[in-house]
Structure formats: structure tokens, C-alpha cells
């Protein structure tokens, strides 16, 4: 087995895993990342158990996070007709929900939506010009605003 280097690679992987676990032990979470910590008293030493850690991307609301939720406006014939009545269509990220879309919409356009509907469009297999292919799926948000309010996509 030593001829092909399998044993050497295996030893290198074991060393890397040892270094990773060693560096993970050295890093301790900061006090700001600990939420709802509980103290458990043992025989002599006290241990701190972290019950919940908030991701840093969710801690602050900014324009960059709203830009990652709303990807782009979905401009089609149907959405153009609907936009005359105050209904706008956007492509959104796959892991977003209505509350995230609402916060992002308010941050980007400074308009409070009346209604938000979300549609999850599945991926589809297609056959075009003798070749098999696929159309990727996406998530769309249909946002209704008050009468008289408009958004310009310039």
C-alpha cells in the first residue's frame, strides 16, 4: 500500500484532523455570541453550556443582507401588467421567508408592502433541439403595495 501513497495520505489526514480539533479547542466563543447560557455546577469546576448561538449574518440588518434576500425583480409580460396595479414580482433566495422579504423590501425601497405571497417554482427537465437539459427552479415573491405607490426599476 505504501507504493501508491495511500498510507501517506491517510497519515496526513489524521494529522490535519488533529490540528483542526486542537485549534477548535483553543477558540472559545465570545460573550456576545452566547445567548441563554446556563451554568451547571459539577463537583469542583463549573461548566458553561451554550444553548443557542446566533449567526453573525442574522444579528445585524443592513442593505447587504436585504440584497441577499431579494435577488432581482422578475420582469415579464405578466409582471409588467401586474405592476400597473401596484403588484411587483421579485426573485428571492431559496431560504428566505415572508418576514425576511418584508424587511428586505422596506430596506431597499422604503415602502411598506400590503401583502406578500411566495411561490416556489420547481426545477423542470426540458428537451430542446434534440438535447436534454433542465430549467433551474426558483422562489418568487409577489408583493402588493398601497394604491398610488410605485417602484421604478431603472
Residue ranges covered by each domain of the chain: 57-144
Q: How many CB atoms lie within 10 A of CB 93?
A: 14
* The predicted structure's pLDDT at residue 38: 44
Taking alpha carbons only, the member of 111, 73, 67 closest to residue 89 is 73
Say if residues 99 and 83 touch (Cβ distance below 8 Å): no
Segment 26-30 shows an average pLDDT of: 53
Compute, in degrees rounded to 10, the torsion defined by CA atoms 114, 143, 93, 107: -60
Cβ neighbours for 125, distance < 8 A, ≥ 6 positions apart: 132, 133, 134, 135
Reply yes or no on whether the pLDDT at 72 is more than 60.
yes
pTM of structure = 0.56
Q: Write down the CATH number for the domain with range 57-144.
A: 3.30.70.330
Percentage of the chain exceeding pLDDT 70: 63
- pLDDT at residue 92 tops 60: yes
* Phi-psi domain of 4 (left: phi exceeds 0; alpha: psi -120 through 50; beta: other): alpha
User: Which 3 state secondary structure label does DSSP give 75?
Assistant: coil
* Residue 113, number of CB atoms within 10 A of its CB: 20
Q: Give the residue-averaged pLDDT of 11-26.
A: 66
* Of the listed ranges 16-25, 103-112, 139-148, the one predicted with least confidence: 16-25
Say how far apart CA 143 and CA 147 lie, in whole Å: 13
Query: Residue with C-alpha cell 469542583?
Result: 44
Which pLDDT band, with edges at 50, 70 and 90, does 55 fall under? very low
Dihedral sign, CA of 26, 31, 34, 36? Answer: positive
Amino acid at each position: 500500500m505504501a507504493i501508491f501513497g495511500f498510507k501517506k495520505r491517510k497519515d496526513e489526514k489524521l494529522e490535519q484532523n488533529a490540528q483542526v480539533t486542537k485549534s477548535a479547542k483553543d477558540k472559545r466563543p465570545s460573550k456576545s455570541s452566547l445567548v441563554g447560557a446556563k451554568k451547571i455546577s459539577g463537583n469542583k469546576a463549573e461548566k458553561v453550556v451554550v444553548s443557542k448561538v446566533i449567526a453573525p449574518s442574522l444579528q445585524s440588518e443592513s442593505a447587504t443582507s436585504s440584497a441577499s434576500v431579494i435577488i432581482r425583480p422578475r420582469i415579464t409580460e405578466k409582471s409588467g401588467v401586474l405592476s400597473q396595479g401596484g403588484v411587483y414580482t421579485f426573485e428571492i433566495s431559496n431560504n428566505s421567508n415572508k418576514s425576511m422579504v418584508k424587511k428586505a423590501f422596506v430596506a431597499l425601497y422604503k415602502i411598506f408592502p400590503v401583502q406578500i405571497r411566495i411561490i416556489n417554482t420547481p426545477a423542470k427537465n426540458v428537451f430542446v433541439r434534440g438535447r436534454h437539459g433542465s430549467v433551474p427552479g426558483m422562489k418568487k415573491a409577489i408583493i402588493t403595495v398601497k394604491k398610488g405607490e410605485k417602484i421604478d426599476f431603472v
